[in-house]
Amino acid sequence: MIQLVECEGAPRDLGLDQGTQCRTVLNAAYRRQSRWQRARLRLRAGSDACQQARLEIRRFYPHQAEMIDAMARASRVPVPWLIAILIGQLRPVPRAEALVLAAARAMTDCGGLLARALPGGVIVRRSRPENGFRSIELTQPWRVDPLAGVNEAGLAVACVSSFGEIAQSRHAAPAALLAHDCLRRFDSLDGAIDWLMARPSGGKSTFVLADLSGEIAGVSIDGDDRRVFRPADDLFVHTGGHARQAEIEKGLREASPLVASDLGRFIGMPLVVIEPSRQSIGLLNGWSTGKADRWFEV
């Protein structure tokens, strides 16, 4: 059963809510680290990359920094451990495949769809920030950044990230944090895209977005290199080099109009599916049956 976490208030309150409700899971994941790793994280601020990322998160992403600090305090785990996970130095669970896709209104019967591979250890977070749009998000207990989500205005975002390249970027704060800002701040594609293109961040992430108009777009961030994709054929698929990418794209195009169940059937892996028109996300764990296990609304 996927845990639903309710978070409300200022950034500090959001972090306290998540840390309190996920305390058992967070403590268990932290205890799985070796004694040497735990001692290093508690006595020092982690690796040099971890320290640099923490400084930049405080500078450029103050809301997320407050959430991380409060989550660590509420769950009694060290902040450097959460930062190390965020930048990809630690992996509490095996990483999911780097698949993310968007289908525009012209290809669907529901005003557009987003999806991304469903990783392990996920929770669903319902966020009601003090200032900003409410949203329903897929994330993990140790993360403040949404892996996918949609806000009350119908703006949806899904993100996948590659790790190991942050040190080569001008900035150390991971680009994945931008997904939180998109859901909190914006009600349409243009504002979110401008934000993704301009904010300081490092690492390598691919975002797909959709809004109530049924339009879709993708943004690729590779260090300081930023690119916007607006697919002319109403479908954007990114698999990070998966051997079946061409087959997946062909199947999805031939299935038009797409519905959520088609995504699991053609892609063949557990997914989270986002429908902007319903302001909801669905977990497609049982992809072989073509049915979402559960839908969550804003």
Beta bridge partners of 273: 115, 282
Q: Using CA atoms of 53, 223, 90, 236 in order, give the dihedral in degrees to the nearest 10.
A: 130
pLDDT for residue 295 is more than 60: yes
Structural domain containing residue 25 = 3-86
Residue 14's pLDDT is 98
Q: What was the pLDDT predicted at 182?
A: 98
Q: How many residues does the chain have?
A: 298
Residue-wise pLDDT tens digits, 122-140:
999 999 999 999 999 999 9
- Looking at 86, 117, 146, the residue that finishes a domain is 86
Q: Does the pLDDT of residue 173 top 80, yes or no?
A: yes
Q: Would you say residue 195 lies in a domain?
A: yes
Q: Where are the alpha helices (DSSP H) in the chain?
A: 11-21, 23-31, 35-43, 48-60, 62-75, 79-86, 178-185, 189-198, 245-254, 260-267
Let me know if residue 182 belongs to a domain.
yes
Picking from 198, 202, 217, 200, the residue whose alpha carbon sits closest to that of residue 157 is 217
> Are residues 153 and 251 located together in one domain of the fold?
yes
Q: Which of 51, 86, 121 is the last residue in one of the domains?
A: 86
Residue 18 domain-assigned (yes or no): yes
For residues 285 and 6, what is the distance between their CA atoms, to the nearest angstrom? 22
Residue 218 to residue 210: CA distance in whole angstroms: 9
Task: Give 221's strand partners.
Answer: 205, 226
pTM, full prediction: 0.93
More confident residue, 66 or 33: 66
Residue 288 clears pLDDT 80, i.e. is over it: no
- Burial class (CB within 10 angstroms; exposed 0-12, middle 13-18, buried 19+) of 173: buried
The more confidently predicted of residues 259 and 60 is 60
Last residue of a domain, one of 86, 119, 147: 86
* Res 287: pLDDT: 52
| φ/ψ (deg, to 5) at 206 | -120, 125
Look at the chain and report how many structural domains it folds into.
Answer: 2
Res 226: pLDDT: 94
Please give the C-alpha separations between residue 292 and each of 12, 79, 103, in angstroms, as whole numbers: 33, 35, 18
Same domain for 34 and 119, yes or no, is: no
251 or 268, which is more confident:
251
pLDDT of residue 164: 54
Q: Are residues 167 and 209 in the same domain?
A: yes
Percent of the chain with pLDDT over 90: 64
Residue 39 predicted with pLDDT over 80 = no
Whether 72 and 136 share a structural domain: no
CA distances from 189 to 121, 169, 229, 240, 252 (A): 29, 26, 12, 23, 23
Single-letter residue type at 292: A
Question: In whole numbers, what is the pLDDT of the chain averaged over residues?
Answer: 89
Residue 95 lies in a domain: no
Note whether 52 and 106 are same-domain residues: no
pLDDT at site 96: 76
Of the pLDDT bands very low, low, confident and very high (cuts 50, 70, 90), residue 63 is very high
Which of 260, 10, 258, 273 lies closest to 116 in space, CA to CA?
273
Q: What is the model's pLDDT at position 286?
A: 60
pLDDT band for position 224 (50/70/90)? confident
In this prediction, residues 279-297 reach a mean pLDDT of: 77
pLDDT digits (tens, 9 = 90+) for 68-119: 999 999 999 999 999 999 988 888 888 777 899 999 998 987 788 999 999 9
18 plus 47 within the same structural domain:
yes
pLDDT at residue 167 greater than cutoff 70 = no
CB 118 within 8 A of CB 214: no
Rounded to whole angstroms, the Cα distance separating 196 from 183 reads 12
